[in-house]
Copies of this chain bind each other. A is one copy, B any other.
Amino acid sequence: MVLFNSDYTEGAHPKIMELMMSSNMEQTGGYGMDAYCDKARALIRQQCGREDIDVQFLVGGTQTNLTVIAATLRPHQGVISADTGHINVHETGAVEATGHKVIALPSADGKLTAQQVLDCYHEHWNDATHEHIVQPGMVYISNPTEIGSIYHRSELQALAAACRECGLPLFMDGARLGYGLAAEDNDLDLPTITDCCDVFYIGGTKVGALFGEAVVIRNPAIAKDFRYSIKQRGGMLAKGRLLGIQFAALFEDGLYFDISRHAVKLAMKIREACESKGYSFVVPSTTNQQFPILPNALIEKLGEKWGYSFWGKIDEQHSAVRFCTSWATDEAAVEQLCSDIRSL
């Protein structure tokens, strides 16, 4: 059985493992203040095209989301998110546990629009009783979203302009950022994202690393004392170099982008196999997650050979499932899966 359930079923890319092995007995300082972290920071600054950004490394996505959000908001403020946002549905109330409401706006495709942000902001301030309502304090988006869609350059720039107009910091959860940048219809790049977002992160856990998220902070108000927040929320890794090692390996020779392209290429094969049979999708996705709507009988048959995530019942005869590819996915296995989708 080959698992397509998620993009974190294997360990790390071999180049990461090699560097981790070869550096194992070196002695370094802790908490992300070592030469490996410095090197990774330098590489990321280079990719982002700016020297004046802070780069910090955390272990996981929920941890990163709650740490960034709690460090940015004042107590009476909430964070605007699509209702499908990971912080709204799949983090056990981690944001609320730091004292803040997630202001969830409806979204069919997992994305927020500039207009939604403007409306939400002005509706708040136009309400005579606004002091009795949570004040919008920042905006959270995911790219790619939790359902595989991506922001295009014009969308992100409009969103950033709206946020600036309202004085709302913009935060991008990039847990799967590599897969978004590798999408064929993508027109974003790291410098543009850096310019548009006050803070974002480059996901490692789901893109080739054992674990780790690289937080890029352009807004100095968020960067100030941010490491206190990492420590307080339990996200400061004692052997911080492990994060530096991984991101140094990922960004040394473009590995991060190469492996992301590999995953997306294979996801497109799965998509095409489904399309060739006329199956529709929960949302169209050009990234490494595909959410086809399949006949229940086919799902059951596929389940004998292939792992997938059950996503939701559609009608009596059909359900949606998720297939994920990753840096580690074997092309031959994908070919066989596609063949089964076509023939079963």
Contacts and interface: CB of A to CB of B under 8 A. Distances in A.
A74 interface: yes
A237 B92 CA distance: 14
Interface in A83-137: 89-94, 96-102, 128-129, 131-135
Contacts of A296: none
3 closest A-B pairs by beta carbon, nearest first, are A63-B234, A11-B24, A76-B228
Contact of A59 (B59, B93, B132, B232): B59
A98 B3 CA distance: 37
A84 B75 CA distance: 23
A173 to B, nearest CB: 13
Nearest to A227: B131
Number of identical protomers: 4
B210 A92 contact: no
A210 B206 CA distance: 19
A3 B239 CA distance: 14
A127 B75 CA distance: 28
A62 interface: yes
A22 to B, nearest CB: 10
Contacts of A328: 25
Nearest to A64: B234
Interface in A7-22: 8-12, 14, 17, 20-21
A98 B128 CA distance: 25
Contact of A91 (B6, B14, B232, B238): B232
Interface stretch (A27-35, A39-47, A247-255, A260-268): A27-35
A63 B236 CA distance: 9
14 contacts: A9-B28, A9-B29, A11-B25, A11-B26, A59-B60, A59-B234, A60-B237, A76-B92, A92-B231, A93-B134, A94-B231, A94-B232, A99-B99, A206-B238
A102 B93 CA distance: 10
A126 to B, nearest CB: 11
A231 B132 contact: yes
A70 interface: yes
Given A27-B9, A71-B75, A211-B238, A101 B90 contact: no
A132 B24 contact: no
Contacts of A307: 27
A239 B205 contact: yes
Secondary structure call for the A interface: loop
A293 interface: no
Contacts of A92: 76, 131-135, 228, 231-232
A254 B23 CA distance: 25
Contacts of A14: 24
A66 to B, nearest CB: 6
A24 B327 CA distance: 13
A233 interface: yes
Contacts of A59: 59-60, 234, 237
B8 A76 contact: no
Contacts of A242: 11, 210-211
Given A76-B225, A96-B101, A238-B60, A90 B27 contact: no
